[in-house]
Chain A
Amino acid sequence: MTADLLTVNYLWLIPAFPLLGVVFNAALGARLGRGAVRLVGPGVVGLSFAAAVYAFFQLLGAEHGAALINNVYPWITVGALHLDVAFTIDPLSAVMVLVVTGVGFLIHVYSTGYMAEDAGYARYFAYLNLFTFAMLVLVMADNLVLLFVGWEGVGLCSYLLIGFWYENMDNAIAGKKAFVVNRVGDAGFLLGLFLLYWHLGSGVHGLSFREVAASVGNISPEVITAIALLLFVGATGKSAQIPLYVWLPDAMAGPTPVSALIHAATMVTAGVYMIARMNFLYILSPTALTVVATIGGLTALFAATIGLVQNDIKKVLAYSTVSQLGYMFLALGVGAFSAAIFHLMTHAFFKALLFLGAGSVIHGMGGEQDIRKMGGLRRWMPITHTTFLVATLAIAGIPGFAGFFSKDEILFKAFASEHGSPLLWGVGAAGAGLTAFYMTRLVLLTFYGTCRASHEVQHHIHESPSSMTTPLLVLAVLSVVGGYVGLPAGWLWGNRFDAFLAPVFGGHHGGQEHAVALEYTLMAASVGIALLGIAVAYVMYVVSPSLPERLSTQLRGLYEVVLNKYFVDEIYEGVVVAPTVRLSNWLWRGFDVAVIDGAVNGTAGAVAFNSGLWRRLESGNVQHYALSFLVGVVVILGYYVWG
């Protein structure tokens, strides 16, 4: 895979900075006040970003296909297993680290404005820094076990931040739901890990990715498929794919910058990263690839349909995120790993921007999230409006914006790759049309038309402070230029992004290089579909505003089903949750209380009863003791004399 390894000694600094921030904010933040937290919280992430940029340029300067590695210390040594805490920067990690620290830094800065009035200021930044630390461990880990540590760490931070305003029971429940659903996925991940280690045999000691990649060929194909599918179960949990996507829309209960950082830009892409990292495994199992592509495509379409009718600004974006993650899995499933990572990066830019823009709107509206009570906001919020519009055009796939290049590459690979098919392309293209529709609907209802808020609220609408608008502007620029690193083959400098990642993905581009005519045809088709989606939304919400109402009354049944998210939560409640709770209750009362507690308490009870009999000998009367003493002496003497 990689040509050679450059040992360096500073990579540990990248995750260490945010960890320092955690210690500072947790221990001293509340005492030193907001000024210190405002400086340290984003500052440590900025330092990480600087270190990451340094590492990136060292990697660029190194021989093509090299990777940086930093062995920090030996971690676990059990028998033949020897695990190090080791960080690595190869092209894939470099992209992820830059996205996590770069977008993360912007969101930290934004948070200083968004959370300015919040009582839990220091706690918030402690959690956010902890998340950054865990995410960096995840993407820089050199072996699967360390990756799993980061994987669990980000899950924990997600739970903590979803339930950040825990005084409200709904938020706490949403956090719990995210945690439990992720646990289901993590169980699959762990089983996959065990199965992999079990079958790797005695030659493998460290589980580092290079080592696993080198010896994975010794495993039989059926086992590889099983491992790949189990790891994919973990990915569906973390990255919100069917059937484990249900936690992500509820996760919107957290503060909006958290939704932007964790539930749009970084954590939810961990599953995509993990599968891209394990590409050598997946490429050996066509079955697993087909499953990944199918689930990805279905999720992309399914979540987009739910997004069509949601009325909460953050819920629309949440389903949009689920849908876009589906595109990434679609790309992974057709073997276009670099296209998936490309979309991951551009999505991090424009979806973070959309969430931060939504946060700015919510901030300006005094906490209102229902788009039916918004409208005409561009009058008050010019910067938020412009940047939100840029992000919308990017996600809709309008030529020139970042999302166009990445989504187009995915759709092309879905059609033309050896693992792809016209059907997968069709599903993806339909999802793209729906995406364009619901995003246009969101923009039109929020920023255009007349304001439907109450007079009281209208009076207070204001543009956000510069600490919030500056990150918006930076992300807006990235949402445009971010796509130009990966132009279609043959345009100007071509797909530099693909070439950069090629050493990691071992030349699996997932398709023919010279199908130019086909590529242009598909490109035109997807742009056409996107424009159609925008046009339909324009007609429904500007030209003829009564049309949505009429449609929803005429198609009452269908509308209700989609509005209620296909009743998936209710089905899960009945089929999975309720039986589990009943079983748990039964185990609690029938087994835990009766058998386990019974055995323990029974032992103690038997001892107590026995002692109760014997303790009566302790009468406290000295003469009784003297008598037993005498009897003892007589018995012993008798034994010696006659015995």
Chain B
Amino acid sequence: MVPTEFIVALSAALFSIGTVGVLTRRNIIVIFMSIELMLNAVNLAFVAFARQLHSMDGQVIVFFVMTVAAAEAAVGLALIISAFRNRETINVNEFNLLRW
């Protein structure tokens, strides 16, 4: 059986990659995918601890997270399409109207 530490380390690595992606990429679609990556890294940590502790709670929370992620994907993609129709770009640097 794979030790829990390995799985958590993988989860941390994926989360960090996702974070760096959110902070550094300019394409909204990529940022969006990075957010999905961060969510799934957290899911991985949940199931790993659930297995170690023989508890179903972690598994249940993963289902919730996946539901929210699905809803978020629907809303987020709609927003991106709408933004693209308005500005003809999906570069986040162009979306900076709310500033001083």
**Bound-state Cα–Cα, A616 to B100, Å:** 7
A615-B93 contact given A626-B22, A630-B19, CB 8 Å threshold: no
Within 8 A of A (CB), among B1-45: 19, 22-24
Q: Which residue of B lies closest to A612 (CB)?
A: B100
Min Cβ gap B19→A in Å is: 7
**Bound-state Cα–Cα, A615 to B100, Å:** 6
**Bound-state Cα–Cα, A620 to B99, Å:** 4
Q: Cβ of A621 < 8 Å from any Cβ of B?
A: yes
Min Cβ gap A635→B in Å is: 15
Q: Cβ of B52 < 8 Å from any Cβ of A?
A: no
How large, as a class, is the contact surface on chain B?
10 to 19
Q: Cβ of B97 < 8 Å from any Cβ of A?
A: yes
Please give, as numbers and ranges, the residues of chain A lying within 8 Å of B23 by CB-CB distance.
Answer: 623, 626-627, 630
Could you tell me if B19 and A619 are in contact, using CB atoms closer than 8 angstroms? no
Number of A interface residues at 8 Å Cβ cutoff, please give it: 11
Q: Cβ of A618 < 8 Å from any Cβ of B?
A: yes
- Chain A-chain B contacts (Cβ-Cβ < 8 Å), number: 28
Q: Cβ of A622 < 8 Å from any Cβ of B?
A: yes
**Bound-state Cα–Cα, A547 to B61, Å:** 123
Please give, as numbers and ranges, the residues of chain B lying within 8 Å of A622 by CB-CB distance.
Answer: 92, 95
**Interface digits, B81-97 against A, CB 8 Å rule (1 contact, 0 not)?**
00000000000110111
Could you tell me if B99 and A619 are in contact, using CB atoms closer than 8 angstroms? yes
Q: Which residue of A lies closest to B95 (CB)?
A: A622
Q: Which residue of B lies closest to A617 (CB)?
A: B100
Could you tell me if B92 and A621 are in contact, using CB atoms closer than 8 angstroms? yes
Min Cβ gap B99→A in Å is: 3
Could you tell me if B22 and A620 are in contact, using CB atoms closer than 8 angstroms? no
Could you tell me if A620 and B96 are in contact, using CB atoms closer than 8 angstroms? yes
**Bound-state Cα–Cα, A623 to B30, Å:** 13
Please give, as numbers and ranges, the residues of chain B lying within 8 Å of A626 by CB-CB distance.
Answer: 22-23
Q: Cβ of B98 < 8 Å from any Cβ of A?
A: yes
**Interface digits, A500-534 against B, CB 8 Å rule (1 contact, 0 not)?**
00000000000000000000000000000000000
Min Cβ gap A617→B in Å is: 8
Partner of B22, one of A615, A619, A621, A623: A623
**Bound-state Cα–Cα, A619 to B96, Å:** 7
Min Cβ gap A607→B in Å is: 15
Please give, as numbers and ranges, the residues of chain B lying within 8 Å of A616 by CB-CB distance.
Answer: 100
Please give, as numbers and ranges, the residues of chain A lying within 8 Å of B99 by CB-CB distance.
Answer: 618-621
Q: Which residue of B lies closest to A614 (CB)?
A: B100
**Bound-state Cα–Cα, A377 to B98, Å:** 85
Q: Which residue of A lies closest to B92 (CB)?
A: A622
**Bound-state Cα–Cα, A442 to B91, Å:** 97
Please give, as numbers and ranges, the residues of chain B lying within 8 Å of A630 by CB-CB distance.
Answer: 19, 23
Could you tell me if B92 and A623 are in contact, using CB atoms closer than 8 angstroms? yes
Could you tell me if B19 and A620 are in contact, using CB atoms closer than 8 angstroms? no
**Bound-state Cα–Cα, A627 to B22, Å:** 9
**Interface digits, B58-100 against A, CB 8 Å rule (1 contact, 0 not)?**
0000000000000000000000000000000000110111111
Please give, as numbers and ranges, the residues of chain A lying within 8 Å of B93 by CB-CB distance.
Answer: 621
Could you tell me if B98 and A620 are in contact, using CB atoms closer than 8 angstroms? yes
Residue of B96, B97, B100 with most partner-chain A CB within 10 A: B100
Within 8 A of B (CB), among A581-635: 615-616, 618-623, 626-627, 630
Please give, as numbers and ranges, the residues of chain A lying within 8 Å of B100 by CB-CB distance.
Answer: 615-616, 618, 620
Q: Which residue of A lies closest to B28 (CB)?
A: A622
Please give, as numbers and ranges, the residues of chain A lying within 8 Å of B24 by CB-CB distance.
Answer: 623
**Bound-state Cα–Cα, A616 to B93, Å:** 16
Min Cβ gap B24→A in Å is: 8
**Bound-state Cα–Cα, A627 to B99, Å:** 16
Please give, as numbers and ranges, the residues of chain A lying within 8 Å of B22 by CB-CB distance.
Answer: 623, 626
Min Cβ gap A625→B in Å is: 10
Min Cβ gap A602→B in Å is: 23
**Bound-state Cα–Cα, A627 to B92, Å:** 14
Please give, as numbers and ranges, the residues of chain B lying within 8 Å of A618 by CB-CB distance.
Answer: 98-100
Could you tell me if B96 and A621 are in contact, using CB atoms closer than 8 angstroms? yes
**Bound-state Cα–Cα, A619 to B95, Å:** 11
25 contacts between A and B (CB under 8 A): A615-B100, A616-B100, A618-B98, A618-B99, A619-B99, A620-B95, A620-B96, A620-B97, A620-B98, A620-B99, A620-B100, A621-B92, A621-B93, A621-B96, A621-B99, A622-B92, A623-B22, A623-B23, A623-B24, A623-B92, A626-B22, A626-B23, A627-B23, A630-B19, A630-B23
| Extra contacts besides A623-B92, A627-B23, A630-B19 (7): CB < 8 Å | A616-B100, A618-B98, A619-B99, A620-B96, A620-B97, A620-B99, A622-B95
- Ordered nearest first, which 9 A-B pairs have the shortest CB separation? A620-B99, A620-B96, A615-B100, A618-B100, A621-B96, A620-B98, A618-B99, A627-B23, A623-B23
Interface residues of B (CB under 8 A from A): 19, 22-24, 92-93, 95-100
